[in-house]
Amino acid sequence: MYYESLLPYLLPVALIILLLAASIRILTEYQRGVVFFLGRFQAVKGPGLVIIIPAIQQMVRVDLRVVTMDVPAQDVITRDNVTVRVNAVIYFKVVEPDKAIIQVEQFQLATSQLAQTTLRSVLGQHELDELLAARDRLNADIQQILDAQTDAWGIKVTNVEIKHVDINENMIRAIARQAEAERGRRAKVIHADGELQASERLRDAARVLAEQPQALQLRYLQTLADMSNERATTVVFPLPMEWLQGLASKTRDPGGNPGQGA
């Protein structure tokens, strides 16, 4: 038969098709292939079409995109002996695919474990106030340490962000009392500064009035004008001490005894 005569040719063709299917790899723009020839590193290929010889060459795909990884919550004891629970997120990417495959097993797991230990180590060197107020600086410190340690793995840590800092209720109340005491201290300092500035102004005003008596008269008249604008049934007229002293001296005789009325 006709079909029977084609059978000897169909088998080689099928083998060739299977061989090509097993040899062809297509890598996207964000992927690279680490190729090994008989177990030895050969090259990094991609993106695009890559031909692999089955059973002789092996290829491991590596994603070059930035990976967002949550760091599990860690119990941290700060330098001032406060226990907090901190979790973070790290952003990293593979920049050298061959190192990420050859130098470390499961680079994502290794990076996660390293991030956990680094987080505890760095935050344990700072006090609670720094942990709450200086997160940007702490993020930068953790990022630099992680980036230096993962450089041998061909991994670039681009950013680290501390997400949450959980504190127990007793410490939250203590922080609230501390903040209230600090606000009270600032209020007292501001009040004291105001009193000091007011006393300095009064001292300057007294010096001016002592040097220029006519300024005191003008101030006296201004006070009377202000009192006349108010609706009051009783008006008290303040008199300068010089006037009272002059009046008292007229009521005394030269000997210092009170004079007799006419």
pLDDT of 204:
79
**Cα Rg for the chain, rounded, in angstroms?**
44
Summarised one tens digit per residue, pLDDT across range 22-51 is 888 899 999 999 999 999 999 999 899 999
The domain 67-172 belongs to what CATH superfamily?
Answer: Band 7 domain (3.30.479.30)
DSSP run (H or E) holding 48: strand 48-51
C-alpha dihedral (22, 24, 27, 33), degrees to nearest 10: 70
Query: What pLDDT is recorded for position 1?
Result: 52
CA distances from 82 to 76, 90, 126, 136 (A): 8, 24, 10, 20
- Whole-prediction pTM: 0.64
In total, the chain counts a number of residues equal to 262
Q: So where are the chain's domains?
A: 2-63, 67-172
How high is the pLDDT of residue 167?
84
What are the mean pLDDT values of the chain's consecutive 10-residue runs (262 residues total)?
A: 64 78 89 94 92 90 94 89 90 95 93 93 89 89 94 94 85 72 85 86 76 67 65 60 61 52 40
pLDDT value at residue 110 = 94
CA distance 124 to 120: 6
Q: What is the pLDDT of residues 226-246, one digit of tens each?
A: 666 656 566 665 555 665 566
Residues 6+ apart with CB under 8 A from 242: none
